[in-house]
Structure 1
Amino acid sequence: MFFDFRTLHEKEIKEDGKKPSLSRVKFFVIALVCSFCWQLFPGYLFQTLQSISWVCWAFPKSVTAHQIGSGLHGLAVGALTLDWTTVASFLFSPLISPFFAIVNVFVGFVLIIYIVIPIAYWGMNAYNAKTFPIYSADLFTAQGQDYNISLIVNDKFELDTAQYKQLGKIHLSTFFALTYGFGFAAIAATLSHVALFYGREIYDRYRASSKGKEDIHTRLMKNYKDIPSWWFHLLLIVTIAVSLVLCIFLKKEVQMPWWGLIFAAALAFIFTLPISIITATTNQTPGLNIITEYIMGVILPGRPIANVCFKTYGYMSMSQAISFLNDFKLGHYMKIPPRSMFLVQFIGTILAGTVNLSAAWWLLNSVENICQQNLLPQNSPWTCPSDRVFFDASVIWGLVGPKRIFGSQGNYSALNWFFLGGLLGPIAVWLLHKAFPTQTWIPLINLPVLLGAPGPPATTLNYTSWILVGTIFNFFVFRYRRNWWQRYNYVLSAALDAGVAFMAVLLYFSLGMENRNLQWWGSDPEHCELATCPTMKGISVEGCPTF
């Protein structure tokens, strides 16, 4: 928050009393135009710039080389990108993340991707890892084929037990399985980390909230009318009532009982404070998706729609609450009237929800084979990586259920020990901090962030590029041009995002709607076709060599 605070408040006057030669507005326009123009190359003309995986080019027929060098389906060793969307699409802009958070993500990434996964895949062949791609969020049969979900779903969108037994257990790639394990650890670590490192501060601030000394921002905001509490209470009652109506009168479509809604709201309420603290200090937000999926999958197995609804109400309620608080914090600094902030957020939510639902409905009915990667052209923008992970999660946790995957009937029950490891991890860090209080770097170890990286649908290249760019800007520029950096950093981040977004819209409406694609060597985003191939002897997959 430091950089955007400087950007929004600091007057554009140098120490000598003169205005800088380049105002923030002019800098924003220049950076936006440059970002807009450049995005034409990785976005359309030369898509190989999205993932420059030279290891794959050097060894075009080696499956192992492709697994190591691929930035989209492998470990991204040596892979580079010149596409800002690859850098900032999943982890948000690295320019506005504190350096200690980047270090935590880097340590977690190296631990998982470059130590644990290679050992599990090549060293131990854990869970028959070589039968499947090394880096994939898809679901597989024991023979390494894509799992045909439609065969195990009955007319009521519930699990067909007989067909499931015939098709066999669901198998995950090494990456996907371990990601869930470290996700278990991250959510458990969030509770213990916040309790140990921020528990006393939370308690003191709560006690002082009604009688504490007001800062200058709070005193200035007294000039505006505050938001009546009944606005929030009324909105809460109306939204819960509407949701309860859906659960009670649309049982067939929603599948979630009314008590599931109350339970999801309670989970969101419990986790909002600790996850808000992690977000405020690191700019990284651990999600409740895994824990909500797990809980409802245990309670109501075989109901994927109910699982998705519970996950949405639990996870998104918490996520939107944090976004709401973030907006109010910015409005507090900018002295925007609180009632105006509330109305803008309320109207914006209604408009955004309506537009998003309408756009999704239109796309589902206008784009053929949308989100079905195997049936789409090679460079199609409609592969929906986030939605495919969401769908696979609904199958794992809702349709099949945790018991058949992470329980006694599944292959991955050992991953449940990650919950305990995540809960105890912050205790070890806290004890180290108490034993060596002069070592200021110890409390900067943030296990919820460290253990939560990486995870699908982000690729390894998303992480390596995000870490590299964030390190360069936080170290080199921050060190040698500190004043310039503090003045323009937030502006640059916003300009890069805006330029990419405008070009994406232009490309879609001018070329994408007519399916006009270039076909040449540079149209392939990576040239690592063998990265998704298995390496187990005797396993045959179309397009891959058989060992």
Structure 2
Amino acid sequence: MESAETNTVSQDPKKQASYNTVETMEEVNDSPVEEVRLTVAITDDPTLPCLTFRTWVLGVISCAALAFLNQFFVYRQNALSVSSVSAQILVLPLGKLMAATLPTKAITIPGTKWSFTMNPGPFNLKEHCLITIFANAGVTGVYAVNIITIVKAFYHRRIDPVAAMLLTHSTQLLGYGWAGIFRKFLVDSPYMWWPANLVQVSLFRALHEVEVRPKGGLTRLQFFTAVSVSSFCYYIIPNYLFPSITALSFVCWIWKDSVTAQQIGGGIRGLGLGSIALDWSTIAAFVGSPLATPGFAILNMLVGFILIVYVVVPIAYWNNFYNAKRFPIVSSHVFDATGAPYNTSLILTGKSFEFNREGYDSYSKVNLSIFFVLIYGLSFAVLASTVSHVALFHGRTIWQQTKASFNDKFGDVHTRLMRKNYEAVPQWWFHGLLMVVLAVSMLACEGFGRQLQLPYWGVALAMALAFVFTLPVGVIAATTNQPAGLNVISEMIIGYMYPGKPLANVVFKTYGTISMSQAITFLSDFKLGHYMKIPPKSMFLVQLVGTVITSLVSFGTAWWLLTSIDYICDQSRLPPGSPWTCPGDDVFYSASIIWGVVGPLRMFGKLGLYPGMNYFFLFGLAAPLPVWYFARKYPDRKWISCINVPIILSGTMGMPVAKAVNSVSWFTVGIIFNWVVYRRFKAWWARHNYILSAGLDVGVAFMGTLCYFALQYYNIAGPSWWGLNIDDHCPLAKCPTAPGIQVGQCPVH
């Protein structure tokens, strides 16, 4: 196993020879997190150029390309997420090619004293890292595009393109202000270690450090190459030749005519007992790579998944709670009292696009599947338990760090190196940007004939909500790799305060949820730069420009698809086999009906069917208390302090957008590598685990993109046989079981 204290080899020997800022023997790797000590180097060369011509060119291209690809594929039935690791690999040979061919002569900008060179020397690790952070901006996506999609494709209404563009930009940039406020706690603190970043740190070191191949083994770069090539070659099978292996549900093959058996064993429409996927894209979808999630977090989520999916849901369904048997056991759609899909045109006024109470009273209340009901209850509990857990387990640490932040005495070797070698980003950069974005947000909502329906006070309230939750949610994300979202609580707040207006609801949710989410993303990338010793000001500029580019490209791509593809997202009118089914936007549309059109009062309040779900708030608030009590009473039993209630409760939060087969496969791989392998073969894990994750991602991304543009774009399908269907062959799993309910081709009980 290579020592984490190995020197990073400078790309320029002359600079390295003259560089004496930090000597390995003078520093002690005092990071309190073992994974960080095993992965992150403790040396730095501040003489390496960072924000170069090569960085800007390759960074802008990478960001724009990934923004286009991810927005393009998100509308498809098999959404493909192309990660920044793909760009991380591609830009390395391109950067070296530019270093070998571009002129080194300095170029003076006319009319100024400024000059730059297109080729400052060998392509180095810090340039590579900044380009990857550029690319990260293109991966995160633009949440506000969901609003544009449901308005045009689901509600079939017009939205002003300028208002829509201002909405996308302002929602993406609002979180930078919160990130500036909380960066001392969530970046400088050595206890906030952001596990997912270690994948890229490990890959950077594999690509740039000189490494001696162990006898009988492979270097990390050779291992990465072998994994990525293997993943690339294999992915043509689940992506093109045999898509059915993305969800193998053996229970359905045995009991072909049993609705109950298929409800239990169906991996796509059922509970997934016994289902599995032989496809990395299915495993890593929705929740991310299981190899990048700590073992204790995986075990917590697994406990929650088993309790909810295999205990609570079956009890609720087969006892017919909330008339559960009238509807599918797992579904994200909305239904009327007869079990049919809900007709929203009957409860919306045409001109004002607001709730029609008379139409609603004469039609039906909105009904949900029992799984969807419980997911909403759990989302209430997760939010409350996050606040309680952070206050109990991290409150003292946060207070100590708050005091320490004023005299700069807390930190580890990485924090010391950053403070010694680089100037921090001034706070007024964050505050100034926050003021500008606030003005743009008000213009987008108050202008353009109030198309977005949300008044100025709604924007201010959404900002306050995001500010309050950024720190506690950031602590969870920085320690467990599993951040919580504000989407449900924000929907509920504005639904009570401003009911009957679907666009106001989703716009408020976007400002509240995404400003916090963007702050978390910014802080995570800042921590990556912290580990890689990137100047903070360069980090800030790259992230800001990358966010603006992503907003422009994602908006343009979405607008192009929505105006050029007939019946996009309309599954009832699309031709058979069309991939443009928009699964994520379908759930977003259902949420706009539940919280925006009908509103929480008629869903989870006294006028609704599900007021009992509100008790989950109290349950979530109280749930961490017993764990905290026993952890203090028995401090020698370390396993108690590893119990994380918010993570347990979020064990199914990817569902029902994610399917049971995604979760089952994710847990299987996660337990094998981050529990069994980590405990028994720690040397191998430290050297190869994160490289394995990156290699699998790259192979899938390259083959998926190649397959689409070379074959599927031209409607060249694979061989016609039963395995070509992207299905688990459990058609009865979606059927209701209440007597007399007839839906589609389902049997009537």
Give per-residue Cα distances to partners, 1:159-184, cap 9 Å, x unaligned: 12222122200000010001101111
Q: Does residue 342 in structure 1 map to residue 540 in structure 2?
A: yes
- The structure number with the bigger radius of gyration is 2
Task: Name the structure 1 match of 2:501.
Answer: 303
Of residues 713, 720, 733 in structure 2, which corresponds to 1:531? Answer: 733
Alignment of 1:466-505 (within 5 A): 466-505=666-705
User: Residue 275 of structure 2: SS of its match in structure 1?
Assistant: coil
Superposed displacement of residue 491, structure 1: 1.6
In 2, Cα distance between the equivalents of 1:430 and 1:217? 31
Q: Which of 471-480 and 308-317 deviates more?
A: 471-480
2:478 maps to a residue whose letter is A
Deviations 1:331-386 (A, max 9, x none): 01111111111111011101111111111112212333322334446654332222
Letter in 1 for 2:549: L
Query: 1:289-324: CA deviations, max 9, x gaps?
Result: 110000000101101101111100100111110110
User: Which residue of structure 2 lines up, in the alignment, with residue 139 of structure 1?
Assistant: 334
2:744 maps to 1:542: yes
Indicate how the Cα distance of structure 1 residues 92 and 365 shifts in structure 2: closer, same or farther if over 3 A, else same: same
Q: Is structure 2 residue 277 aligned with structure 1 residue 81? A: yes
Contact 1:7 1:488 in 2 (8 A): no
Instruction: Give the residue type in structure 2 aligned to 1:533.
Output: C
1:80 corresponds to which letter in structure 2? I
Q: Does residue 242 of the first structure (1) align with residue 443 of the second (2)?
A: no
CA shift for structure 1 position 499: 1.8
* Residue 218 (str. 1) matches residue 415 (str. 2): yes
- 1:185 touches 1:421 (CA, 8 Å); kept in 2? yes
Cα distance in 1, alignment partners of residues 505 and 317 from structure 2 = 31
1:325 and 2:523 matched: yes
| Structure 2 CA distance for aligned equivalents of residues 239 and 345 of structure 1 | 15
Query: Cα–Cα, structure 1 residues 210 and 18, in superposed 2: closer, same or farther, change >3 Å?
Result: farther
Amino acid at match of 2:332: A
SS in 2 for 1:454: coil
Distance 1:286 1:394 in 2: 20
1:34 is the counterpart of 2:230? yes
Secondary structure, in 3 states, of the residue corresponding to 2:604? coil
**Aligned positions of 1:52-451 closer than 5 A:** 52-122=248-318, 124-155=319-350, 156-211=352-407, 212-213=409-410, 215-221=412-418, 222-376=420-574, 380-451=578-649
Mean CA deviation greater in 155-164 or 169-178: 155-164
CA change 1:118–1:424 in 2 (3 A) is same
Structure 1 window deviating more from structure 2 (475-484 vs 440-449): it is: 475-484
Whole-Å Cα distance in 2 between the matches of residues 19 and 329 of structure 1?
A: 35
Structure number with the bigger relative contact order (C-alpha 8 A, sep ≥ 6) is: 1
Paired letter, 1:426: P
CA contact under 8 A between 1:67 and 1:73: conserved in structure 2? yes
Change (3 A) 1:13 1:510: closer
How far, CA to CA, are the matches of 2:565 and 2:631 in structure 1? 55
Taking a change above 3 Å as real, the CA distance of residues 445 and 219 of structure 1, as seen in their structure-2 partners, is: closer
Structure whose residues are more often helix by fraction: 1
CA contact (8 A) 1:251 1:257 kept: no
The CA distance in 2 between the partners of 1:249 and 1:37, in whole Å, is 52
1:498-513 alignment runs, 5 A limit: 498-513=698-713
Q: Describe the superposition over 1:408-449 as per-residue Cα deviations: whole angstroms up to 9, x where unpaired.
A: 111100110010000011112212222322221112111111
2:722 matches 1:521: yes
Q: 1:6·1:486 contact (CA, 8 Å) conserved in 2?
A: no
Residue 487 of structure 1 aligns with an amino acid whose one-letter code is R
Contact 2:211 2:219 in 1 (8 A): no
Structure 2 vs 1, CA of residues 73 and 379 (structure 1 numbering), >3 Å: closer, same or farther?
Answer: farther
CA contact under 8 A between 2:459 and 2:511: conserved in structure 1? yes
Letter of the 2:353 partner, please give it: F
SS for the counterpart of 1:527 is coil
In the aligned structure 1, how far is the partner of 2:244 from the partner of 2:456? 49
Q: Distance in 1 between matches of 2:738 and 2:358?
A: 29
Deviation (angstroms), 1:250: 2.9
- The answer to whether the 8 Å contact 2:326/2:736 transfers is yes
Q: TM-score, normalised by structure 1?
A: 0.95
- Distance in 2 of aligned mates of 1:364 and 1:247: 22
Taking the aligned partners of 2:205 and 2:406, their CA distance within structure 1 comes to 28
Residue of structure 2 aligned with 1:22, choices 205, 218, 234: 218
Paired with 2:742 and 2:272, the residues of 1 have a C-alpha distance of 25
Give me the whole-angstrom Cα distance separating, in 2, the residues matched to 1:32 and 1:303: 48
What is the DSSP-based 3-state SS (H/G/I as helix, E as strand, rest coil) of the residue aligned with 1:157? coil
Alignment partners' CA distance in 1, 2:259 and 2:570: 24
What secondary structure sits across from 1:111 in the alignment? helix
**1:186 and 1:533 mapped to 2: Cα distance?**
30
What CA distance in whole angstroms lies between the structure 2 residues aligned with 1:119 and 1:259?
43
Judged with a 3 Å threshold, the aligned counterparts in structure 2 of structure 1 residues 420 and 541 are, in CA distance, closer, same or farther, namely same
Counterpart Cα distance in 2 of 1:83 and 1:9: 28
Label 1:29 to 1:400 Cα distance change in 2 as closer, same or farther (>3 A).
Answer: same
- Distance in 2, matches of 1:381 and 1:84, equals 20
Deviations along 1:37-96, one digit per CA (max 9) or x if unpaired, are 211111121111010111111121211111111101101111110111111110100001
Amino acid at match of 2:302: F
Aligned-partner Cα distance in 2 for 1:409–1:307: 19
Q: Report if the CA contact (8 A) 2:401-2:410 is conserved.
A: no
- 1:461 is aligned to 2:661: yes
On the 8 A contact 1:73/1:135 being kept in 2, the answer is yes
Q: Which amino acid aligns with 2:312?
A: V
* Percentage of matched positions with identical amino acids: 51
Structure 2, unmatched stretches of 5+, are 1-34, 40-197
Distance in structure 2 (CA, Å) of the matches to 1:537 and 1:195: 49
Q: Give the counterpart letter for 2:304 in structure 1.
A: G
Contact 1:13/1:19 (<8 A) preserved: no
State how many pairs are aligned. Answer: 544
Q: 2:261 is aligned with what amino acid?
A: A
Task: Give 1:469 shift.
Answer: 0.4
Matched residues in 1 for 2:651 and 2:550: separation? Answer: 29
Higher mean alpha-carbon deviation, 448-457 vs 329-338, is at 448-457
* CA deviation after TM superposition for structure 1 residue 21, in Å: 4.2
Cα 1:152–1:166 change in 2 (3 A) is same
**1:315 corresponds to which letter in structure 2?**
T
Contact between 1:12 and 1:23, CA under 8 Å: does it hold in 2? no
* Distance in 2, Cα, partners of 1:278 & 1:484: 28
How far apart, CA to CA, are the structure 2 residues paired with 1:138 and 1:71? 18
